[in-house]
Amino acid sequence: MPTSSTNQNVALTMGPVLFNWPVEQWLDFYAGIADEAPVDVVYLGEVVCSKRTPFYLGAMVDAADRLKRGGKTVVLSTLALITLMRERKECDSLINFEGFEIEINDLTALAKWEDGRRFRIGPYVNVYNEDTLAFLASQGASSVCLPPELPFSAVEALATAAGAMNVTCEIWSFGRIPLAMSGRCYHARIDGLTKDACQFGCARDRDGLKVSTLNEKGFLAINGVQTMSYSHCNNIMHADQLACAGVTALRLSPHSCNMAEISRTFRDRLDGRNSPEEAMARIQAICGPITFSNGFLFGEAGVDLVSPE
């Protein structure tokens, strides 16, 4: 299938690890991304639970240096839900970290933002219309990752507006979709513990804990305080449509499968080296028995998988 230069100009980004991985696995993952993955931007940081942050603080600089040596742009991501003074102070420290762009996932971070300094907006901020996008751009937003539940018509309208504002427009394109954040920890509750004394049960589930209905049908996944989709979003078959709509970056969310190979498959699809069907078959071979979906993008049930016309 011939591919226009529009597709070739679409960047690939690797979102932050959302799960509680052992720090050795976390470092190995980013070393592999640095050396093997054709992604342009890599996001680092704890987005889900501030209790996990101390495990990675000592490794952040090493991971960032390795990624930079691999030619990647490194962006630091804030928490998606800031509820404690401790978390606010951690956010303030992060945004004052020199030498890195910052992705804001909770607008609390803007309270102490310096005028004129550029930042990125993550998918946890509800950018649903052009007025919100324009406000964020006026405050210094250089890039926006749209919420993954938006339909194609909204994505196209916002991507067009973002282009006119010189703002990069990302869309969630691979991985379990974040649906909600809670003040309670589901993993702790399952273990009969409180959030403050959780003992990090979430570390058992490297891609989240699957939740099934009474009929044993996959329904959701939980990740500590986060609710996620059971299925994995996968927009690889619609990369051409997204590029033509004005989307300038596709975000891949890390999971325990071979993410370097996932990113290569996406890059080949964008560059026209495989067809949508070939790309989808390759992703299925890499991931194994995983359910994929993209229904939100087409105004269908989020769990649905819509094929190209």
> Which comes out higher in pLDDT, residue 29 or 307?
29
Closest to 263 measured CA to CA, from 147, 173, 159, 169: 173
Amino acid identity, residue 112?
A: K
Closest to 266 measured CA to CA, from 247, 249, 279: 279
Cβ neighbours around 241 below 10 Å, total: 18
DSSP tag of 21:
-
Q: Does 216 map to a domain?
A: no
How many residues does the structure list for the chain?
309
State residue 2's pLDDT score. 44
Q: pTM for the complete prediction?
A: 0.94
CA 19, 20, 23 angle in degrees (round to 5)?
A: 120
Question: Which residues lie closer than 8 Å to 218 by C-beta, 6 or more apart?
Answer: 210, 211, 212, 230, 231, 291
> Which comes out higher in pLDDT, residue 102 or 95?
102
- pLDDT value at 76 more than 80: yes
State residue 120's pLDDT score. 97
Q: Does 184 map to a domain?
A: no
**Once rounded to an integer, what is the mean pLDDT over residues 177-190?**
94
* Model pLDDT for residues 217-244, shown as the tens digit of each residue: 899 999 999 999 999 999 999 999 999 9
Q: Does 100 map to a domain?
A: yes
Cβ atoms of 113 and 119 within 8 Å: the answer is yes
- Percent over 90 (pLDDT), the chain: 87
State residue 7's pLDDT score. 83
* Model pLDDT for residues 253-262, shown as the tens digit of each residue: 999 999 999 9
State residue 57's pLDDT score. 85
Q: Does 193 map to a domain?
A: no
DSSP tag of 78:
P
Domain enclosing residue 266, as ranges: 5-178+227-298
> Which comes out higher in pLDDT, residue 307 or 185?
185
* Model pLDDT for residues 117-171, shown as the tens digit of each residue: 899 999 999 999 999 999 999 999 999 999 999 999 999 999 999 999 999 999 9
- pLDDT value at 285 more than 60: yes
How many domains, the chain?
1
Q: Does 189 map to a domain?
A: no
Cβ atoms of 152 and 175 within 8 Å: the answer is no
Q: Does 106 map to a domain?
A: yes
**122-127, long-range: CB < 8 A, 24+ apart:** 122/43, 122/47, 122/77, 122/78, 122/80, 123/147, 123/148, 123/170, 123/172, 123/178, 123/251, 124/47, 124/80, 124/81, 124/178, 124/181, 127/158
Dihedral sign, Cα of residue 283, residue 235, residue 25, residue 288? negative
d(CA 172, CA 155): 11
Q: Does 136 map to a domain?
A: yes
Residue 59, domain CATH:
3.20.20.70
State residue 1's pLDDT score. 40
Q: Does 202 map to a domain?
A: no
